[in-house]
Amino acid sequence: MQKKLLTMAVAGALAAPCIALAQSSVEVYGTINMAFGKFKYSESQSGAPSISKWDVSQGASNYGLRGRESLGGGLTAWFQIEQNAPMERSNNIAITPASRNSAVGVQGGFGNLFLGQWTTPWSDLDALWGVGTVGYWGPITSIIGRRETTGTAPNPNCINGHTSGVPGSTVCDAIEAGGGVGHPFWKRISQAVFYHSPVMGGVQAKFAYQTNEGKANAGGTTIEADPSMWSGSVQWAGMGGRARIGAAVDRHKDFTTPGKTDTGWRTTGGMNFGVADLGLAYERMTYKTPAGDCKATQWGVGVAVPVGTGTIRGSYSRAKDIEGTYTGAVTVAAGVPATGSCGAVPTAAAPSNDNGAKQWNLGYEHRFSKRTNVGVGYAAIKNDPGAVFTWTGAPPVQNGQSNTPLAGSDPSTWFVSITHRF
C-alpha cells in the first residue's frame, strides 16, 4: 500500500497522473548505500602529510520510476527514469534527472531494443564476478575499468559537458591535457541504442552503439572529429546459475585522438561451489595517442563465503603500469612538452612509468532481509608513486577539496555499511 501511495505521489509531482494510470504497472524503486567509518590518506610521493578523518559517505544511491505496458502479440513497452540520490551534502554529486540508467524500449521474443542512457555491455559483465565486496569499497569502484582521467566520453571540441580547456584548442579534453591517458570503459553511455538478445541455452548477447552526435568539420577553432563508440558482449550461465562466464569488446572512435580508435577487451566469470562463490576478471585497453599506443591491464579476484544468514566477502585487484609512451599537452617546464611513459605527467617526485596500484578489501555482510544488509569491513589501495586510484564516494584528500588522491597517497578505510533496497 505504501509503495502504491508513493508511486501516485511521484506521478502527481511529475504532473502526469493520467499517464501513470494508463500503464499496466508503474513502480518507485531505489537503492540506498551508506557507510560510516575512519578514512585515511597516507603521505603522498611529494611529501604531503597523511590525514585521517571520520566520514559518512554514500555509494551509487539512486531512485527512479519504471513501468511496463502490454502491447499485445507478445510485445511489451517499458520505460525507466533513474537518477542519483545524494545521501550526503556534497558538491561532487549532482542531482540530475535521468542521470543513471534511463531509457524507453520494446521487448518481445526477439529480445529487448531500447534507446537512451544505460550501462554498456562491457560494464554489465561485472555482475558475473563482483561477489567479493561488502558495501561499495571494492575493485569495481576503484581498479577494474577505472583508467579514465575524464568523466563522460571525451571529445576534442569540449562537448558532453567538458570544461577542461578552451573550445577548439588541442588541449581541450585531449586526454593528455590531464597528464596521461584513459576514459571510461565501465560507464553508461548516452545518446545510444541498445539491444539485448533473449537468453537461449543460458547464452545472451548484448550490443550498444553511441551515436556520433559530436561529429564536427574542421574550420576556425573547431577540431575535425567523428566520435562514436560501440560495445558488445556475450555471456553464458549454467548449472542453475552457479557457473557463469562472459567476454566483451569495445571500440571508441576519436576519443583520445581524432582519427584513431581506442579498443578494449575483457573477460569475467565465476563459479559457486556452495561453500564459496569465486569470481575472476581480466581486461586490457589500448588508448591511441599521437605518439603511440598506451596499453592498460587490470585483473581482479573476488570470493564470497556464506556463514549462516551472512556472508564473508573479500577481493584483490591489480592495475599494472601502463605500457607505452605519449607526448603530453601539459608541460613540466615552460614550453617543454611532457614526454614519457603513459600515465600521469612525469615529475621527479612521481615518475609516470610507475603508475600501477593494488586494492584489497575484506568484510562481513549480514542479511537482515531481502531488502536490508548491514556490513563491516576494511578496504585499502596501495598506489604506486605516479598513481591516483581511489573509490567512488571517497572523502576529500589532504587539501580538503579534491577527491582524487595526491600521487602516491594510499587511501584506506574501516567502515560499517548499510544497504537498503525499495
What pLDDT shows up at residue 275? 97
Q: Work out the pLDDT band at 385, boundaries 50, 70, 90.
A: confident
> Per residue in 98-132, is it b (16+ CB within 10 Å) or e — as a string?
ebbbbbebebeeebbebebbbbbbbbbbbbbbbbb
* 192 to 75, 117, 156, 209, 231: CA distances (angstroms): 22, 6, 19, 5, 11
Q: What percent of the chain has pLDDT over 90?
A: 53
What pLDDT shows up at residue 162? 38
CA 397 to chain centre: 21
Tens-digit pLDDT profile for residues 322-359: 887 654 433 333 333 344 446 544 455 545 567 889 99
Spatial CA neighbour of 250 closest among 157, 184, 349: 184
Q: How many CB atoms lie within 10 A of CB 312?
A: 17
What is d(CA 96, CA 107) in angstroms, rounded to the nearest whole number? 27
The yes-or-no verdict on residue 54 having pLDDT over 60 is yes
Mean model confidence pLDDT for the chain: 82
Transcribe 35-104 into DSSP letters: EEEEEEEPPPTT-PPPEEEEEEEE-S-EEEEEEEEEEETTEEEEEEEEEE---S--TT----TT-SSEEE
What pLDDT shows up at residue 123? 93
| pLDDT, average across residues 165-176 | 38
The yes-or-no verdict on residue 386 having pLDDT over 60 is yes
What pLDDT shows up at residue 181? 53
The yes-or-no verdict on residue 252 having pLDDT over 60 is yes
What pLDDT shows up at residue 148? 59
The yes-or-no verdict on residue 128 having pLDDT over 50 is yes
C-alpha cell at 155: 571529445
C-alpha cell at 245: 562466464
Domains and CATH numbers, the chain: 2-421 (2.40.160.10)
What pLDDT shows up at residue 221? 67
| pLDDT, average across residues 213-231 | 81
What pLDDT shows up at residue 19? 44
